[in-house]
Structure formats: structure tokens, C-alpha cells
Amino acid sequence: MPRLAVVLALLLSLVSGAVAGPALAQTPAPSSDAVPADPFGETVTLPEKTIVYLRGQANWDTALETLVEKFRLLHAFLQKAQIAANGPAMTVYTQANDTGFDYQAALPVAEAPKEPPGDGIAVGTSPGGPVLKFVHRGAYDTLDITYEAITNELDRKGLDAKDMFIEEYVTDLTTTAEDKLVINIYVPTRTP
């Protein structure tokens, strides 16, 4: 799967500070559906948010299906607890290898639930602080193009990324037609 190689290259550069190899020397366009005003490598401050989340592991071949199912479970929990989501769903990627990745599928909430969630659902805080923001528009399976461009942008700017990245789903990952997705990708970088 092409996305696997690109995400692994990004994660390896995140963990080791390695620079992308010659195959990634030229930055491709982030997406054929990019809007000129979309940020690509813009520094922003990501606010910490209270989240309910499910932690898990998934393989690359079923990544979308796995995440969609986790978000459905989180939405069902919030509906049952009569709590409204307070922002877009997000996935915090914490580790990856050649077969899969570790993640937290999360929904922000204004307040933590009064009762412990159970069923593997936890309450916590999303990552915050300065990050580079990138925007992907289009099908989930074309994210590899955007991640390749992100790797190149980090290389161009001489930046080392921290060992995680965040996808924030501007459009609902569970209901939006896959080719109409809009995803903000946040990459925390190390301070020089």
C-alpha cells in the first residue's frame, strides 16, 4: 500500500530526525483538489481539548474502516451520555511499523463525562502547542500524496518532527463521501 511507505517514512523521520531520501526530493502538489487558501506547512498553535477516545492498533489495509467504526462507537457513547461533541473528530497517531499503527480515535467534548465511560473509552486531553498545519482534500486512500509532500516540506524547512501526528476530520469521516473528505494534518516539531 503506497500510503504505508509514505507514513512510515514520515514516522521514521519523526522519531529519528532523518531526512527523506532522494525518492522524495521534489514536493508534489498536496492534492489535486487543494484550495489556494489551504495552509500547507503553516505554523499554528493547537489548543489542548478535553477528549473521549478509544486507543487501538490497526493495519494499513483496513485503516479507514477501523477508524470509522471507532468514531461510530464514540458518537454512540456521547449520544447515550447526552454529551455533545465540541469539535471535529481526530486521530492521534502515536506509532507505526510496516504492518500497522497505534492510534487514539478521539472526539472533543466541552466537559468530561460525569461517569467513567467504560467499554475501552477513556477521557483525556488532546495534544496541544505549536504545530505545522497541512490540509488534505480528497479520498482517504490518496493521503499518501499529502504525506509525501509533508515529508518534503519538513526536509525543505530543516525541521525535525516529534514522534506523533494528528489528523483532524473537518468533514465527518463516518458520513462524508470519501472523495469529498477534508482533513487537517498537524505535525508537532522539535524545538531547535
Residue 87 belongs to domain with CATH number: 3.20.80.10
Given this model, what pLDDT does residue 190 score? Answer: 86
Looking at the predicted structure, is the pLDDT value of residue 17 above 80? no
Contact 77, 121 (CB under 8 A): yes
Burial of 115 (0-12, 13-18, 19+ CB in 10 A): exposed
- CA-based torsion, 25, 170, 78, 109: positive or negative: positive
Residue percentage of the chain with pLDDT more than 70: 81
Residue percentage of the chain with pLDDT more than 90: 67
Cell 487558501, located at residue: 37
21 — pLDDT class (breaks 50, 70, 90): very low
User: How many whole angstroms separate alpha carbon 38 and alpha carbon 150?
Assistant: 14
Domain that includes residue 100, residue range:
2-188
According to DSSP, residue 149 is labeled H
Contact 20, 156 (CB under 8 A): no
Using DSSP's 3-state secondary structure scheme, residue 10 falls into helix
123 strand-pairing partners: 52
35 — pLDDT class (breaks 50, 70, 90): low
Count CB neighbours of 38 within 10 A.
17
Looking at the predicted structure, is the pLDDT value of residue 118 above 80? yes
In 73-169, where do the E strands start and end?
Answer: 90-96, 100-108, 121-125, 129-137, 165-169
89 phi, psi to nearest 5 deg: -65, 155
Side chain identity, residue 121:
I
Mean pLDDT of the chain: 84
Which pTM value belongs to this model? 0.82
Looking at the predicted structure, is the pLDDT value of residue 109 above 50? yes
Domain count, the chain: 1
